[in-house]
Amino acid sequence: MEAENQDPLPEGSQLAAIDLGSNSFHLIIVKIEHGEMRPVETLAEKVQLGAGLENGRLSQEAIDRGLECLTRFAQLLESIEPERIRVVGTNALRVAKNRHDFTRPARRILGAKVDVIYGREEARLVYLGVAHSLADDAQSRLVIDIGGGSTEFIIGERFEPQRLESLQMGCVSFGRVCFPQGLINNDNYRNAYDRARVQAFHIRHRYNANHWEECVGSSGTLQAIETIITQNTWGEGGIDRKGLASLEKKLLTFETMDEIKLDGLAATRRNVIIPGVAITSALFDVLGIDHMRTSKGALREGVIYDLMGRLSHEDVRERTVNALMQRYAVDHELAEVVERRARTLFTATRMSWHLTTSDWDLLHWAARTHEIGMAISHKHFNRHSAYLLRNADLPGFSQEDQEQLAVLALGQRGKLSDTIFSDIADTDQVRIKYLLAIMRLATCFKYVEKLAQLPDFSILASEHALTLEFPENWLEEHPLTARELEDEQNVQSKMGLNLDYS
């Protein structure tokens, strides 16, 4: 919890972002100068993590390729503080059932946790990166990012996205499914085009040309398409229908992906260019795109700008939580009571339990949203709160953040199921159990404190124990709270914590 008068991003600060894409991994290191970011190092490697997905699981070979790449990236990160590094995983890690087999060793290698983000959060960050690379004008724009496993669509103005969507189609996944053994023919190409067309049809009413004034492409695939069209004199800048048709015709003269040789095409993109063109052509046709310009701004730049906001107390997650509270008519007074008591318990236990500022952030958001499920039903409201926190689109939050918030909401009251921690990584379970212990105690006191000021009481914590000492006769005067604490002893004991009170 940083001092208010301390500049969180002094001149010359370094920040880093890593984009763990389904096709390529990207690293960017920037320096803050006059409140803006200046890239000082960029690195990209074609890992093709998505190509290692079989039956929803990453192959060991794909995991090894990714970790070897991160070992090289880590050398450039040694001088950067962990809290100034953000690592995000996209579609391949989103869908992989065994993603922890990659994210846990990746965290050890990089010294920073890996945030696997949902598709719409990826779209928001892409737009943030693109918007900062374009003129700050007021016209509405459609931004499209074709990745290895998913394609993101955003309509926005200036720096504010207004519509976000992510579809399960990408140049690596389509390459694997539609062009087996890398074979190119009219049928395979038409299969890829038709698949993309069907996907795009689901969003055509909200993303067609009637809703925006210009179209911008972000991603290596779209930049490669523009470069090829320009260098082969099939167009004069950007991507248009005529240039796409010429490129499509030329690609269909090759029999395999390995044979593709075109001016402007890097050898590393041979196996993604033709599915990328098929997807792009389908999007032009379904959404009514005539011309697309490309932007060098992308997900990694968006992650940097988002990180700058977090470190400068302009965290989009705060806006998200406030919006949730409004949408579900949360009792603000009660939420503040729980948050205040959670803060007292957190402050008293953080040293003994090795809790961090990030842990307080999670607890703070959990306290403010713990009753959103009341909007559905008072009965089992904790289950409804957990469902909403796990499944809603929450800008700024990673998949892991939402899973942990859901656990804190679900476990805030009553008995704990045997599976409540099943989605939490082994390395995080002790920490989440500590936060849940605080959350449960904070909610124990909420109705008492709303009616009468809770007295000061002493809190003593050790690794496996928590002792609360109240003023003389206070518990006798509040028998309901005393009973709740008695019940709480059994639950806390199951989490490995000895709760004592007097």
Reported as a single tens digit per residue, the pLDDT across 157-203 is 988 999 999 999 999 999 999 999 999 999 999 999 999 999 999 99
Widest pairwise Cα distance in the chain: 88
The SS3 call for residue 102 is helix
Look at residue 7 in the predicted model and tell me its pLDDT.
63
Same domain assignment for residues 202 and 285: yes
Four-residue CA torsion sign, 238, 239, 241, 245: positive
**What was the pLDDT predicted at 279?**
98
Query: Would residue 101 count as lying in a domain?
Result: yes
> Quick one: residue 56, left, alpha or beta (phi over 0 = left, psi -120 to 50 = alpha)?
left
Average pLDDT score, the chain: 92
- For 240, phi then psi, to 5°, come to -130, 175
Tell me the two tokens of residue 369: 């949203």
pLDDT at position 4 is 47
Given a cut of 80, whether residue 460 has pLDDT beyond it is yes
- Note the pLDDT of residue 163: 96
Q: What angle do CA 62, 89, 219 make, to 5 degrees?
A: 95
Sign of the torsion formed by the C-alpha atoms of 334, 340, 342 and 345: negative
The reply to whether 357 and 391 lie within a common domain is: yes
Give the residue from 362, 412, 358, 361 showing the smallest Cα distance to 385: 412
Going through 219-290 in order, the beta strands assigned E by DSSP cover 239-240
Q: Verify that 334 and 268 share a domain, yes or no.
A: no
Tell me: do 334 and 290 sit in the same domain.
Answer: no
Strand 57-58, strand 53-54: pairing: antiparallel
Q: What's the mean pLDDT in 86-92?
A: 96
What pLDDT does residue 412 have? Answer: 94
Q: Which domain holds residue 267?
A: 134-295
Q: Is residue 49 part of a domain?
A: yes
Confidence of residue 3 (pLDDT cuts 50, 70, 90): very low
CB 459 within 8 A of CB 465: no
The answer to the question of residue 99 being in a domain is yes
Instruction: Specify if 122 maps to a domain.
Output: no
Residues 321 and 238 in one domain: no
Mean pLDDT, residues 387-405 taken together: 94
Structural domain contains residue 383: yes
Percent of the chain exceeding pLDDT 70 equals 96
Q: Is residue 460 part of a domain?
A: no
Are 255 and 185 found together in one domain? yes
Task: Note whether residue 290 is domain-resident.
Answer: yes
How much is the pLDDT for 372? 96
User: How much is the average pLDDT of 478-487?
Assistant: 86
Confidence category of residue 2, pLDDT binned at 50, 70, 90: very low
* CATH code, domain with 32: 3.30.420.40
Q: pLDDT at residue 287 above 60?
A: yes
Shared-domain flag, residues 370 and 402:
yes
Average pLDDT over residues 488-494: 91
Domain of residue 356, CATH code: 1.10.3210.10
Q: Residue 494 above 80 pLDDT? A: yes
Domain end call among 452, 469, 484: 452
Same domain, 214 and 276: yes
Predicted confidence (pLDDT) at residue 136 exceeds the cutoff of 80 = no
In CATH, what number is assigned to the domain containing residue 255?
3.30.420.150
Query: DSSP string of 35-101?
Result: TEEEEEEEEEEE--GGGGEETTEE-HHHHHHHHHHHHHHHHTTTTS-GGGEEEEE-HHHHH-TTTHH
Q: Is the pLDDT of residue 146 over 90?
A: yes
Last residue in a domain, options 239, 265, 295: 295
Cα separation, 153 vs 122, whole angstroms: 10
pLDDT at 1: 47
Number of domains in the chain: 3
Q: What's the whole-model pTM score? A: 0.88
Q: What does the pLDDT look like over 28-79, one tens digit per residue?
A: 999 998 778 899 999 999 999 998 999 999 999 999 999 999 999 999 999 8
pLDDT at position 479: 85
Percent composition of the chain: helix, strand, coil (DSSP 3-state, to 5): 55, 20, 30
What is the predicted pLDDT for the residue at 450?
58
Residues 105 and 159 in one domain: no
**Is residue 228 domain-shared with residue 276, that is, in the same domain?**
yes
**Which token pair is 15?**
């920040």
Residues 290 and 330 in one domain: no
What letter would DSSP give residue 256? B
pLDDT (mean) for 446-465: 79
The residue among 230, 265, 295 that closes a domain is: 295
Residue 84 CB neighbours (<10 A): 20
Indicate whether 358 belongs to any domain: yes
Quick one: average pLDDT of 115-139?
A: 89
Q: Are residues 264 and 324 in the same domain?
A: no
